[in-house]
C-alpha cells in the first residue's frame, strides 16, 4: 500500500542509517508478530516532531473487523482524535515510514515482553526490552468499551426512530447510524467547550431528515451538559417534519422543533451553531451559506453527493486521462468541491478544517467540514487567488457556494453582525 494516500499525516522522508533501519524493522516485526501470536496488548508512538502539525501521540490497539485482526491507530491531536484502521501489512508499512522520520519513541507492550524503541541525541535507534507488564491481552471486540454520548436506555426518541428496540438494544441495521451520531456528538462536545455563549444557544440542523442527529444533539447538550439550547431541524419533507415534531413532544424536548422549509429559503440570521449531516449536493452549500450569513460561531457539516462541479470537470481537457474513469472523476469532484468550500469559508473569516469523522466502514460519506468563526485578519486576495488557481486547474466555471456569496456581495448587511478585518 502507498501509505501516503491513506494515512492521516504524511512524512517528509529523511535519510535513515542502515543500522537504524534494522532496529526499526526489528521493532515493527516484534509488533506484527505479537499480534499474530495473540500476545499484543498495546503500543504508543510519541516524541513526534513539530512538522507533524499538532499531532501529540498515536495509540495503537488490536481490533477484530469482519473476522480480520487489524490495528486501529488513534491519532491524537491537540483538540481531536482521528482513527484509522490498518491491516497488519499496512501497519508495518506505516511504522517503517514513520519511525525515525517524524516519530522518535515507541512503547510496545506484549504478554511476553515490553519493547521500548528510543532514539538518543544523535538520533541512533535502540530497542530496550523489559519483563512484560501485562499477562493478558485485551478483548479484540471493536469499539466495545467506547464511550457512548447518548444513552440508549429508556430513550423514547431512539425507540420511535427505530434505532433501538424496546429493550434499549441498538437494532442490527442501525449500528452504523448510531456510531455516526455518537461520533458527531463527540466532536461537537469537544468543539463547543472552546466557545463561550452568554445567552440561549440557537442551533439549526439543515436537512434534518428523520432527525436522528437533531434529537441526539439536543439530548446531549440539554440533558447531559445542561446547556440552554434551542434547536430547530429544517427539512423539505412534510411527513418527516410532522413525525419529528410529534416525537419531540413525546420526549418532552420543549426547545426542539422541526420546520418544513427549503434550506435556501431559510431566513433566520441569528444562528449560533449550524450542523448538517449529509445534506445532498448543493444543499450543503446552501447550508454553509446560511451559516456564513448568520455569522454562526460554529459550522459542522458532513457533505454528501458532490454533483455540481462534476460536469464542468469532465470537460476539462487537462485532466482527461484521470477524469475518463468515472470513479476517479467522482472522487476528485468530492475533493475539489470541499476544498473550495473550505477556502470560501476562510474567505468569510472561518478557521476551517476537513477530516474523516468516522471510519469509512460505517459510512463512505465520512468527511466533516468544521468551521469556527475567528476575528483574525482575512487574507482576501491570497485566498481568492488560491480559489481561482484551483478552478482553473480543474476547469471549473463556478462553484455553487461561490455564486451564492457573489450574488449577495452587494447586500453586505449580514457581515456587520460581527465585523471581521479584511485586507486587500
Ligand X SMILES: C[S@@+](CC[C@H](N)C(=O)[O-])C[C@H]1O[C@@H](n2cnc3c(N)ncnc32)[C@H](O)[C@@H]1O
Please report, as ranges, the residues that interact with ligand X according to CB under 6 A: 207-210, 212-213, 234-237, 262-264, 277-280, 283, 286, 304
Phi-psi region of 125 (alpha: psi -120 to 50; beta: other; left: phi over 0): beta
CB 357 → ligand X: shortest distance, Å? 12
User: In terms of CB distance, is 76 or 341 closer to ligand X?
Assistant: 341
Neighbours of 315 (CB within 10 A): 12
User: In terms of CB distance, is 40 or 178 closer to ligand X?
Assistant: 178
CB 310 → ligand X: shortest distance, Å? 18
* Distance, CA of 107 to CA of 59 (rounded, Å): 10
User: In terms of CB distance, is 323 or 363 closer to ligand X?
Assistant: 363
CB 188 → ligand X: shortest distance, Å? 14
Show Cβ contacts of residue 380 under 8 Å, excluding neighbours closer than 6 positions: 347, 422, 423, 424
Q: Write out the H or E segment, with its range, that includes residue 98.
A: helix 88-98
Nearest residue relative to ligand X (C-beta): 209
CB 180 → ligand X: shortest distance, Å? 8
CB 194 → ligand X: shortest distance, Å? 24
Phi, psi of 151 (to 5 degrees): -80, 135
**459550522: which residue's cell?**
299
CB 381 → ligand X: shortest distance, Å? 32
CB 107 → ligand X: shortest distance, Å? 39
CB 175 → ligand X: shortest distance, Å? 14
DSSP label of 216: H
User: In terms of CB distance, is 265 or 376 closer to ligand X?
Assistant: 265
DSSP label of 7: S
User: In terms of CB distance, is 279 or 298 closer to ligand X?
Assistant: 279
For residue 74, with 0-12 CB atoms within 10 Å meaning exposed, 13-18 middle and 19 or more buried, which class applies?
middle
User: In terms of CB distance, is 213 or 371 closer to ligand X?
Assistant: 213
CB 176 → ligand X: shortest distance, Å? 11
CB 125 within 8 A of CB 20: yes
Q: What is the largest CA-CA distance in the chain?
A: 71
Strand partners, 108: 43, 115
User: In terms of CB distance, is 224 or 262 closer to ligand X?
Assistant: 262
User: In terms of CB distance, is 293 or 391 closer to ligand X?
Assistant: 293
User: In terms of CB distance, is 177 or 391 closer to ligand X?
Assistant: 177
* Distance, CA of 151 to CA of 160 (rounded, Å): 14
* Exposure string over 228-259, b if 16+ CB within 10 A, otherwise e: ebbbbbbbeeeebbebbbebbeebebebbbbe
Angle ∠(75,78,79) on CA atoms, nearest 5: 95
Q: Write out the H or E segment, with its range, that includes residue 95.
A: helix 88-98
User: Which cell goes with 57?
Assistant: 501521540
Amino acid at each position: 500500500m502507498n501509505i501516503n494516500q491513506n494515512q492521516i499525516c504524511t512524512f517528509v522522508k529523511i535519510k535513515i542509517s542502515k543500522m537504524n533501519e534494522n532496529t526499526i524493522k526489528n521493532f515493527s516485526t516484534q509488533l506484527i508478530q505479537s499480534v499474530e501470536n495473540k500476545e499484543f496488548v498495546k503500543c504508543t508512538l510519541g516524541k513526534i516532531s513539530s512538522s507533524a502539525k499538532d499531532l501529540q501521540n498515536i495509540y495503537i490497539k488490536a481490533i477484530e473487523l469482519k473476522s480480520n485482526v487489524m490495528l486501529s491507530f488513534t491519532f491524537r491531536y491537540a483538540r481531536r482524535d482521528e482513527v484509522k484502521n490498518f491491516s497488519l501489512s499496512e501497519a508495518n508499512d506505516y511504522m517503517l515510514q514513520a519511525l525515525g522520520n517524524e516519530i522518535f519513541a515507541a512503547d510496545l507492550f506484549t504478554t511476553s515482553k515490553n519493547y521500548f524503541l528510543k532514539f538518543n541525541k544523535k538520533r541512533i535507534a535502540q530497542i530496550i526490552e523489559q519483563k512484560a507488564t501485562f499477562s493478558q491481552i485485551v478483548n479484540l471486540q471493536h469499539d466495545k468499551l467506547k464511550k457512548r454520548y447518548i444513552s440508549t436506555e429508556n430513550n423514547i426518541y431512539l425507540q420511535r426512530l427505530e434505532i433501538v428496540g424496546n429493550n434499549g438494544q441498538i437494532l442490527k441495521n442501525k449500528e452504523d447510524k448510531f456510531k455516526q451520531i455518537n461520533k458527531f456528538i463527540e466532536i461537537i462536545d469537544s468543539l463547543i467547550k472552546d466557545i463561550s455563549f452568554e445567552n440561549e444557544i440557537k442551533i439549526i440542523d439543515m436537512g434534518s431528515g428523520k432527525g436522528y442527529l437533531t434529537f441526539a444533539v439536543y439530548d446531549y447538550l440539554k440533558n447531559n451538559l445542561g446547556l440552554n439550547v434551542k434547536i430547530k431541524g429544517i427539512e423539505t419533507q412534510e411527513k418527516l417534519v410532522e413525525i419529528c415534531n410529534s416525537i419531540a413532544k413525546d420526549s418532552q424536548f420543549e426547545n426542539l422543533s422541526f420546520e418544513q422549509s427549503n434550506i435556501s429559503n431559510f431566513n433566520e440570521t441569528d444562528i449560533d451553531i449550524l450542523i448538517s449531516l449529509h445534506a445532498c449536493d448543493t444543499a450543503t452549500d446552501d447550508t454553509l451559506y446560511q451559516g456564513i450569513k448568520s455569522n454562526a460561531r460554529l459550522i459542522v457539516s458532513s457533505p454528501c453527493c458532490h454533483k455540481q462541479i462534476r460536469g464542468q470537470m469532465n470537460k476539462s481537457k487537462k485532466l482527461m486521462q484521470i477524469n475518463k474513469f468515472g470513479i476517479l472523476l467522482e472522487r476528485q469532484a468530492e475533493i475539489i468541491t470541499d476544498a473550495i468550500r473550505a477556502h470560501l469559508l476562510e474567505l468569510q473569516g472561518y478557521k476551517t478544517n476537513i477530516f474523516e469523522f468516522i471510519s469509512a466502514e460505517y459510512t463512505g460519506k465520512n468527511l466533516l467540514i468544521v468551521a469556527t468563526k475567528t476575528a483574525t485578519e482575512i487574507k482576501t486576495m491570497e485566498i481568492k487567488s488560491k480559489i481561482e488557481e484551483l478552478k482553473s486547474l480543474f476547469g471549473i466555471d463556478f462553484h455553487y457556494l461561490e455564486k451564492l456569496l457573489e450574488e449577495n456581495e452587494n447586500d453586505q448587511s449580514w457581515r456587520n453582525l460581527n465585523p471581521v478585518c479584511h485586507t486587500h
